[in-house]
């Protein structure tokens, strides 16, 4: 989300496999990061929790017959996750 450089292959993958991109508020990412930690023990930084934020905030509509994937990454706020 704020990386210095992205490999061009990433853009090709996104073009082929991603149907929708949504935006989420910072507070939704904070809440998602906290939820990941307290519910699942996963220490994700805010950008790493963005996909969970999109799902939990309702920014992404999903239901029967849809395949949803979310990437959770990051070292976490303390740098050891």
Domain range summary for the chain, segments of one domain joined by +: 1-75
* pLDDT of 33 over the 90 cut: yes
What pLDDT does residue 80 have?
A: 45
CB 53 within 8 A of CB 60: no
pLDDT top residue among 80 and 2: 2
Rounded to whole angstroms, the Cα distance separating 49 from 79 reads 15
- 79's tokens: 């740098």
Stated pTM of the model: 0.74
Confidence of residue 79 (pLDDT cuts 50, 70, 90): very low
| DSSP secondary structure string for all residues of 29-65 | HHHHHHHIIIII-----TGGGHHHHHHHHTSS---TT
């Amino acid at each position: 989300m704020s990386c210095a450089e992205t490999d061009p292959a990433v853009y090709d993958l996104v073009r082929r496999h991603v149907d929708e991109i949504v935006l989420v508020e910072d507070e939704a990412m904070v809440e998602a990061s906290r939820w990941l930690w307290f519910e699942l023990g996963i220490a994700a930084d805010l950008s790493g929790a963005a996909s969970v934020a999109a799902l939990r905030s309702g920014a992404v509509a999903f239901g029967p017959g849809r395949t949803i994937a979310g990437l959770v990454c990051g070292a976490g706020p303390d740098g050891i996750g």
